């Protein structure tokens, strides 16, 4: 395995960079989208709740790979050309945002309803109360599950390998087929994934224990 | 456009796609049963803290949990032949799914057991049950009730994750849809609609079940 790192270090590092870039971009966008849809689900408007529900159910119940392939195969035909990295990141963002919406919503619901009543009684509008009173308290609860979502995101970013996204998994395949040392190549890739995911998931477990 | 849909959903194509659904369900069901049994055992091992053994098992679980499933699929399908075992595609997919999902379930089982009030175990011991009797008759049944929603949502992920096995050419829905639209590009949208719907129906039914169980428990 060590000689894989020695011979293909540059390729692996490039793949690691793409994986990290894709994961961080998808995390940022899916946090924005997910929070937005969580707020819509908690909003007083019935229509907004319906829209959010449909969005979340669709992207939660369709495999990530189908979503990604949709952007890779269908979009270029009818809408706009995009490379594998873009298609993969968009797919990952939409898929993860549905899970983040559920997480954030659970966080909002775990805040004492008296907080909202108090805020409204003090003259804040619904959205002001959400923004200044509820969300800041909710985010404390949702940090551990969000961290676990990020671990899932890093793992799921390996679907980029299907669409030529030049991520870690893709480079692993290239190395495995050119060096013919399948196990060593995949082990090297595995170690690099673990370097990202293990510390996060251990830290989140620690946070969970401390919050409980 | 409509004509494309009508052509794409010819009886032959539909039969081929539903055959793919059958393989998806076969792989899912076998992996669900396997990973439920292995995951429960691993979760209990991790909970009971047998000296060294539990720590080692826990560490291995954490390693597998934090790897992408695709990598584990590659290990079983392309890696095992290097060690002298050459699995067929379907057993290789089932093996990879079972290994991966049982580590996920082990975590759910462990946290489910930990969520049971420790007083339950103390009470059981005080009433003369052994540790294992207390675990089996008192703690586990209560933990199981708490865990069911999380377990069902894990099974939903499992069903969705079977689509990743297209990378080792498992002939399930997604793979078969690619073969169909590979012959005629007009079929691309109808095929995506069809498989998205099929996955959605299967997973949505499971998530309705999960929500029902969650409500009944609360």
Closest partner residue to B199 (CB to CB) among A63, A70, A77 is A63
Whether A141 shows a pLDDT value over 80: the answer reads yes
pLDDT category of residue B210 using cuts at 50, 70 and 90: confident
Rounded CA-CA distance A150/A199 in Å is 12
**Please, which pLDDT band fits residue A212 given cuts at 50, 70 and 90?**
low
Question: Maximum distance among all alpha carbons in chain A?
Answer: 69
What is the torsion angle, in degrees rounded to the nearest 10, for the CA atoms of residue B79, residue B80, residue B84 and residue B90? -130
How many domains are there within chain A? 1
The Cα-based distances of A163 to A157, A174, B78, B118, B192 in angstroms read 11, 14, 20, 49, 16
Tokens found for residue A74:
């269908």
Q: Which of A119, A112, A144, A149 is nearest to A133 (CA)?
A: A119
Between B65, B81, B203, which is nearest A61 by CB?
B203
Task: Name the minimum distance, in Å, from the CA of A120 to any CA of chain B.
Answer: 29
Q: Is B183 on the interface with A (CB under 8 A)?
A: no
Give the number of other CB atoms < 10 A from CB of residue B152. 18
Which among B83, B166, B188 has CB closest to A77? Answer: B188
Cβ neighbours of residue A45 under 8 Å, at least 6 residues apart?
none
Q: What is the mean pLDDT of residues B147-174?
A: 90
Report pLDDT for B18: 92
Q: What is the CATH number of the domain that holds B14?
A: 1.10.3720.10
Confidence tier at B93 by pLDDT (50, 70, 90)? very high
In a mutational test of the A interface, the residue from B1, B67, B170 whose CB has the highest number of chain A CBs within 10 Å is: B67
Q: How many CB pairs under 8 A join A and B?
A: 105
Local structure of residue A131 (DSSP, 8 states)? I
Ramachandran angles phi, psi of B87, nearest 5°: -75, 150
Contact A170, A160 (CB under 8 A): yes
Query: Which positions in chain A touch B166 (Cβ < 8 Å)?
Result: 65, 162
Q: Does B192 touch chain A (CB under 8 A)?
A: yes
Query: pLDDT band at B4, cuts 50/70/90?
Result: confident
Chain B CB contacts of A65 below 8 Å: 163-164, 166, 174
Q: Considering only residues 11 to 40 of chain B, which have any Cβ-Cβ distance to chain A shorter than 8 Å?
A: none
Start-to-end CA span in chain A (Å):
40
Instruction: Give yes or no for residue B218 having a pLDDT over 70.
Output: no
CB contacts of A155 in chain B (<8 Å) are: 66-69
Torsion angle defined by CA atoms of residues B15, B20, B22 and B26, in that order, rounded to the nearest 10 degrees: 160
By Cβ distance, the residue of A74, A158, A176 closest to B68 is A158
Q: Which chain B residues are within 8 Å of A158, Cβ to Cβ? A: 68-71
pLDDT in tens, A54-79: 999 999 999 999 999 999 988 888 88
DSSP for B138-177 reads IIHHHHHHHHHHHHHHHHHHHHHHGGGGGGGT--SHHHHH
Provide Rg for chain B, Cα atoms.
21
How far is the C-alpha of A9 from the C-alpha of A2, rounded, in Å?
Answer: 10
Give the range of the structural domain holding residue B174, as residue numbers without chain letter.
2-217
Tell me the C-alpha distance between B114 and A51, whole Å: 37
Overall number of domains in chain B: 1
ipTM associated with this complex: 0.88
Q: Which residues 6+ apart lie within 8 Å of A188 measured at CB?
A: A1, A4, A5, A8, A12, A172, A175
Residue A102: CATH number of its domain: 1.10.3720.10
Q: Higher-confidence residue: B102 or B7?
A: B102
**CB < 8 Å to A176, chain B:** 74, 78
CB of B140 within 8 Å of a chain A CB? The answer is no
Q: Domain span at residue A164?
A: 2-211
Could you give the CA distance from residue A153 to residue A88 in angstroms, rounded to a whole number? 11
* B146 in reach of chain A (CB within 8 A): no
Contact B166/A at CB under 8 A: yes
Which residues of chain B have a CB within 8 Å of the CB of A202? Answer: 62
A176-208 residue pLDDT tens: 888 888 889 999 999 999 999 999 999 998 888
Q: pLDDT over 70 for what percent of chain B?
A: 100
């Amino acid at each position: 395995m060590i000689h894989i790192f020695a011979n293909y270090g540059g390729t692996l590092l490039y793949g690691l960079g793409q994986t990290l870039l894709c994961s961080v971009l998808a995390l940022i966008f899916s946090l924005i989208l997910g929070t937005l849809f969580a707020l819509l689900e908690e909003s007083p408007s019935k229509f907004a709740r319906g829209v959010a529900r449909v969005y979340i159910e669709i992207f939660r119940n369709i495999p990530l790979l189908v979503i990604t392939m949709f952007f890779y195969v269908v979009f270029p035909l009818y809408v706009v050309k995009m490379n594998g990295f873009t298609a993969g990141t968009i797919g990952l963002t939409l898929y993860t945002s549905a899970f983040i919406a559920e997480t954030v919503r659970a966080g909002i619901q775990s805040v004492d309803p008296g907080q909202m009543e108090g805020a409204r009684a003090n003259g804040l509008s619904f959205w002001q109360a959400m923004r200044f009173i509820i969300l800041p308290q909710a985010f404390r609860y949702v940090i551990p599950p969000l961290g676990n979502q990020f671990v899932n995101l890093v793992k799921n970013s390996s679907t980029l390998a299907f669409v030529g996204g030049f991520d870690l998994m893709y480079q692993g395949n290239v190395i495995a087929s050119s060096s013919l040392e399948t196990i060593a190549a995949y082990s090297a890739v595995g170690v690099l994934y673990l370097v990202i995911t293990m510390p996060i998931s251990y830290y989140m477990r620690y946070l969970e224990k401390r919050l409980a | 456009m409509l004509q494309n849909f009508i052509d794409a959903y010819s009886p032959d194509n539909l039969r081929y796609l539903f055959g793919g659904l059958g393989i998806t369900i076969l792989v899912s069901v076998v992996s669900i049963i396997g990973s439920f049994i292995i995951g429960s055992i691993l979760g209990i091992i991790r909970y009971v803290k047998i000296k060294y053994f539990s720590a080692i098992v826990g560490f291995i679980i954490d390693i597998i949990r934090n790897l992408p499933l695709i990598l584990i699929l590659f290990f079983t399908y392309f890696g095992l032949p290097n060690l002298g075992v050459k699995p067929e595609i379907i057993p290789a997919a089932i093996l990879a799914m079972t290994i991966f999902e049982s580590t996920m379930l082990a975590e759910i089982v462990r946290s489910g057991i930990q969520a049971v009030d420790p007083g339950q175990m103390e009470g059981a011991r005080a009433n003369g049950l052994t540790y294992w009797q207390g675990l089996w008759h008192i703690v586990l049944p209560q933990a199981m009730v708490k865990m069911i929603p999380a377990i069902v949502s894990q099974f939903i992920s499992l069903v969705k994750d079977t689509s990743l096995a297209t990378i080792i050419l498992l002939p399930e829905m997604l793979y078969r849809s690619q073969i169909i639209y590979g012959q005629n590009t007009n079929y691309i949208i109808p095929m995506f609609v069809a498989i998205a719907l099929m996955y959605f129906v299967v997973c949505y039914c499971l998530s309705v079940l999960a929500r029902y169980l969650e409500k009944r428990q609360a």
